[in-house]
Chains A and B, each alone.
Chain A
Amino acid sequence: MKLKSQTTQKIAFTLLGLAAVTVIVPVILILVILIQRGWPAISWQFLTEMPRMGMRAGGIFPAIMGTLCLVACAISVALPLGVLTAIYLVEYAKKNWWTRMIEIAIVNLAGVPSVVYGLFGLGLFVIFFHFGSSILAGALTLAIMELPVIITSSKEALMSVPRSFREASLALGVSKWETIRCVVLPNALPGILTGSILGVSRTAGETAPILFTVAAFYLPRLPQSIFDQCMALPYHLYVLSTQVPNVKPALQYGTALVLVGMVFSLNLVAILVRAHIRSKKQW
């Protein structure tokens, strides 16, 4: 009997181990293949030059810049909006049907397919608001996509600040808003930042939302303002892979490697921030 239970345990452990390995295999394979085939393409020129010869040569500088622009603009809209919403929901909102509606809406927002966001952005920002196909329209579309992630992680970060801190501050006659500003927010900030960076890194690689709202097939110059179109890494990768004949594979893999590298470094920043704060956390 004892032997049998040990045997089943071994089988269970093996299965669990296999499941875990199965999960990391694709990640490792993607990285190995990308680095193996893309690395030869990476050079200073590749990162800093405009594309040449119908994008079959030269660099991907405008696409990198475009993606950075989009990410920066999207986060500068989504972060304040998301954090303020989270503060309202956690600190002020009463538990009634209206609050529940907002929360349900946020959960559903997270489940909307990205191509639907793209069409929504096209309808609202590009056409209705007359922004045209522009960085502004694309960034706003991405911002809406980021919102659920930012709100959810901010809410969790705010709720993880102990209630006793709030009471200690309120008991000194400090107003509720001052308490939130001086006690709750500083302690929730690391969680908010980490969650937001992860939200951003997810949207940085999205193609569908920018397809209709901002991304350009090819532009001979960099965007001059937020009302210009721009190139973006995910869309550029799509174009290189499917729309332009006779592109050297190294160029495609190199582009993919840069995109993955950017997303990965964003995640790395989030992980480092979190680790740093955890080591200093006092409660």
Chain B
Amino acid sequence: MDKIIVKDLNIDYGGVPALKGVNFSVKDKEILGVIGPANSGKTSFLRALNRLNDLDLACRMKGSILLNGKDINREMDAEEVRKKVTMVFALPIPLPMSIFDNVAYGPRRHGVKDKKKLEEIVEKSLKASFLWEEVKDRLSSSGMKLSGGQQQRLCIARTLAVEPEVILYDEPCSGLDPISTAKVEEAMRELKSRYTQILVTNNVKQAARVGDRVAFFLMGDLVEIDEAQKLFTTPRDKRTNDYLTGRFG
């Protein structure tokens, strides 16, 4: 079943095209790796999926994106889209509040007031992002005091707490060391059973490690999308092959 269908998506920033007529779909509960060099349109694509591009006044978009068959730009409002399609950013951004409040932030804003319920959500989310064991004794200390890798997993827990359907990762490990990266990747694999995940990454090997399918973007075009296994061993397009073998990028 297709979770997200992208139809003829064009994005430009003040006349500079970032994405040129992209068509494809994302399956339910898969991890889609998105790779490509800088300026290939990966991040623009990701930010279109939860309408964060709306915040950029210079950004123009054409085409449509369907989530569960509904057009996110015409049939849903931005808050509804972003609640279902949440995002983990490149740099971990804990809000300047306690670990508990960070995770409870989303549910609280969406109307959960019951303390017991909030505690449950926080524990469940932190366990799902593999952070619970490390922070369970200091939930009231600041989220800013955690290490980089822990902060990123805190951000993942924070997105999980709003019970999304799709999680977007924008190069989530670009600032992390290999051990923290491994932990974040482990969290993604664990979450696979419940969520559709899209991982934009500069790290080709990471896409190979966690992606079920991988899409290769270049200069605003979707060059190729295929099973990770196939794309990495027998790419159909020469440009994909050149990128993967390091001829450019």
Contacts and interface: CB of A to CB of B under 8 A. Distances in A.
Decide whether A and B are members of one complex.
yes
Interface of A: 94-95, 164-165, 167-175, 178, 182-183, 187, 281-283
Q: Which 6 residue pairs spanning A and B have beta carbons closest together? A: A173-B83, A173-B82, A282-B144, A171-B87, A172-B106, A168-B93
Contacts of A187: 96
Interface residues of B, number: 28
B91 interface: yes
22 contacts: A94-B57, A95-B57, A164-B89, A165-B96, A167-B93, A168-B95, A168-B158, A170-B82, A171-B89, A171-B159, A172-B82, A172-B83, A173-B79, A173-B80, A173-B82, A173-B106, A174-B79, A174-B82, A174-B106, A282-B96, A282-B144, A283-B96
B137 to A, nearest CB: 20
A171 B89 CA distance: 9
A164 B52 contact: no
A95 B100 CA distance: 38
Given A164-B93, A178-B109, 20 more contacts: A94-B57, A164-B91, A167-B55, A167-B89, A168-B89, A168-B93, A168-B155, A169-B95, A169-B105, A169-B109, A170-B82, A171-B82, A171-B86, A172-B105, A172-B158, A173-B86, A173-B162, A174-B109, A183-B95, A282-B142
Contact of B50 (A171, A182, A281): A171
B192 to A, nearest CB: 21
Nearest to B81: A173
A95 B56 CA distance: 12
Nearest to A173: B83
B124 interface: no
A3 to B, nearest CB: 50
A83 to B, nearest CB: 20
B52 A171 contact: yes
Contacts of A94: 57
Given A172-B83, A172-B162, A173-B79, A167 B52 contact: yes
A282 B91 CA distance: 16
Contacts of B86: 171-173
Nearest to B143: A282
Interface string B179-193: 000000000000000
Contacts of B96: 165, 187, 281-283
A182 B109 contact: yes
Contacts of A165: 93, 95-96
A167 B110 CA distance: 16
B83 A170 contact: no
B20 interface: no
Contacts of B80: 173
Interface in B44-85: 50, 52, 55, 57, 79-84
Nearest to B54: A170
Contacts of B106: 172-174
Contacts of A170: 52, 55, 82
A182 B80 CA distance: 19
Contacts of B83: 172-173
Interface in B113-170: 142, 144-145, 155, 158-159, 162
Contacts of B105: 169, 172, 174, 182
Contacts of B95: 165, 168-169, 183
